Structure formats: structure tokens, C-alpha cells
Structure 1
Amino acid sequence: ANHTEPFCHGCNRIRMDARGNIYGCLSDPTYYQIPDSSEGQFEEIDRALRNAMQTKKSQFTGSSLSMKFIGG
């Protein structure tokens, strides 16, 4: 667990829940939506992924968000 052995500094992951919401960090409940119909919407998908990556933290700050709520 990140509380006992921090791994934020090396984390290169983003997570997607079953609804298609993208989370950049488990320390931040902010999410970004992927368009329902991704056909021809590469710019919107790219923007959502980039925004999620920018929410990543250098260390765990605590959150009510848990991996179990997004399928992890």
C-alpha cells in the first residue's frame, strides 16, 4: 500500500473505471471523461489523457478515492 511503502514518485499509471472515467492519481478524486463515441474524437481523448496525467502527485496526499471503487 502507498501508505506504508510510497510509490507515487515512480507511478506512471492512469486508471479508468467501468464508466470510462480516467483518473490520473488515486490521491485526487478528479476524473476526466472519455467521449461515449470515440470514433473521430482523438483530440478529445488526447486532452482527457493529458489532463489526467497532469493531476499526478509526487507523493500520496490522502484521498477518499480507493482502487476498489474504480476496479483496481
Structure 2
Amino acid sequence: MNLANALYKEIKGRENQEYAVYTKSQLESDVNTDWIKETMRNSILQNHNLQFSGGGEKTKVLTSLGYFDQKGF
């Protein structure tokens, strides 16, 4: 985070901003999230499709219904 702030301050017009990208409280935070673990965990996925088609010589009918649900990433 300190590197990001340092690099941001090098942009013309941003030289006098003390905390460019992150706030002071964010920089002093002791939160340490393992983002690889959070994004690569298993999740529940549901995917259902139902389709009806039919008709006669002059008319064709197609009806479709779908449902998709995913918990997590």
C-alpha cells in the first residue's frame, strides 16, 4: 500500500496529497485477507433448463425456461 501511495504521488498534480490511494486508517489496518483462498474456494452451483417445442405445418412454438444460481465466486 505504501508503494501504491508513493507511485500515485508521482503523478503530475497529485504531489501534495498525503494519502493518495488509501486512507490513513486503511494503511494502519492489521487486516490480512488471503484473497487467493477466498476466491478459489468451492461454491454451490445450480443450473436448470426446461424447453418445450411443437406445432403444426404452418406454426411452430418454442418455450424455454431457465434458472441459474451460484453461491460464492
Give the shorter-chain TM-score range: under 0.3
Higher relative contact order (CA 8 A, sep 6+): 1
- TM-score scaled to structure 1, two decimals? 0.26
- TM-score scaled to structure 2, two decimals? 0.25
As a proportion of its length, which structure holds more strand?
2
